[in-house]
Amino acid sequence: MKLKSIVTLLVAAVLLAAGSAGAWSLADLLHKSGPTTRDSATAGAATSVATATPTAATAAVPIPATGGSAPNYRAIVQANSAAVVGVTVAGTRKVGNFDSLPNLPDDPFFQFFRGLPGWQRIPQQGAPFRGQGSGFVVGNDGTILTNAHVVRDAKEVNVKLSDRREFRAKVLGSDPATDVAVLKVEAGQLPSVTIGDPQQVQVGDYVLAIGAPFGFEQTATQGIVSAKGRSLPGDSFVPFIQTDAAVNPGNSGGPLFDASGRVIGINAQIYSQNGGFQGLAFAIPIDVALRVKDQIVSKGHVDHARMGVLLQDLTQPLADSFGLKTPDGAVVSSVEPDSAAAKAGLKAGDVIIAVDSQNVHTAGDVSSRVGMAAPGDRVQLTLWRDKSSREVALKLGHAESDATQSADATEHPSTLGLAVRPLSLEERKQMQVDHGLMVEQVEGPAARAGIEPGDVVLALNGEAVTRVEQIRRVLQSHPKHVALLIQHDGQQIFVPVNLV
């Protein structure tokens, strides 16, 4: 995703093109494809999995901080490097190819699309890929944390220890919403890291990252905490820790240590204009990652709560219009019918200024607190409405998974002919949208209107679409026509669909 037109969101993972030897494409490194390519010294061949018996080791001992001076980085690395692992993956991933436009029927609707580039999409095929990231041991039973994007679509995952032993890893589960994955290797008494408290870390504190940037294993880089609680586009659940520690492709999934040698985060993303590190790195707080890990270990998946609102940051002009002194809060721009927010009486124009007595500064504050709660949890919201505050109790609903769901129902004759699912976190980043439904299959009216698999439904009859139920609700009234806002090949187009 681009923060501005020239800023590319780079996920720090090295993806090696299948069949290449010592070269990688930057487009494969990004959440979003990019035009730049570079050469890499990373080997292109996979290493075989070793079967040697692991040696016993104990957890790393925290390194005492040394007052106002720099930490003992050497001691931190020596105490923790054995618990940092390299993660290599292999699998197949769908890629889209485009050909020239066909001779479309003499239909006015199709004539409208004739001038659009890439209207015909060749069916997606699986292309082999190989990738590399980092991870770290959080339990001496062989439990390892890494990023979900590192193991996405992987058919084979290998873990390499600092002593060069390798093990085949099982992916216990991954959560694209927070970009956390949990691996397990059959190796006992592995060295593990010591967990710190990211809440105690302050801006300006020293940090150290260990990982495998560009395949260079066991690389340590240092910096400071640049900011806390960062909300990034498309990442509604994670209050990122921003640092200036050098993080590059291959660091994804590696640990971020505080000055005492305790892990406070998982390195996940960077912002870059040229594909390399430029002083902006972002880590998932370790308390968020551990909550995700516990759910994956206990039940194999993660349940996130949802409130059922669209939020936007409060600006000073908006604050003035609402009668607020400062632009602290999140404005409710819309409320989904039958959602938890609707049942609690929230309405567009409300400003959420606190959640469970914790002040809200941005919309990301609300999203991260709600997203990491459990469905059914109750939260206390402090709202600003009609130039006065009020308290509202709300029982959170359940966020939908990324499973494909049909938007048609057999009892409704006026059907669209679409099978859709919510966009994953990575897809939202790649497509530069914050909501929408991915089209998986098309038939009937939707197919005749020119909608294709891979398109994204952004709105229906002018209402932003975030859930499949919104489409079902409109179809229940048996409309003759609907208007869909579709993102197709990076362009947003209104598509009228005739249902009769």
The residues that are catalytic are 149, 179, 252
Alpha-carbon torsion (333, 337, 338, 342), positive or negative: positive
Exposed, middle or buried by CB within 10 Å (0-12, 13-18, 19+), for 321? exposed
Q: Is 491 left (phi over 0), alpha (psi -120 to 50) or beta?
A: beta
98-131 residues labelled b (16+ CB within 10 A) or e (exposed): eeeeeeeeeeeeeeebeeeebbebeeeeeeebbb
Q: E strand or H helix at 471, and its extent? A: helix 468-475
Name the nearest CA neighbour of 85 among 177, 157, 173, 174.
157
Taking a C-beta distance cutoff of 8 angstroms, is the pair 272, 8 a contact? yes
Residue in this structure with the two tokens 């609402």, named with its chain if needed: 322
DSSP state of 82: G
CA 437 to chain centre: 16
Count of other CB atoms within 10 angstroms of residue 154: 22
Query: Which residues make Cβ contacts (< 8 Å) with residue 241, sequence separation at least 6?
Result: 198, 201, 225, 227, 228, 230, 256, 264, 265, 282, 283, 284, 285
Q: How far apart are CA 255 and CA 230, in angstroms?
A: 18
Q: How far apart are CA 385 and CA 435, in angstroms?
A: 26
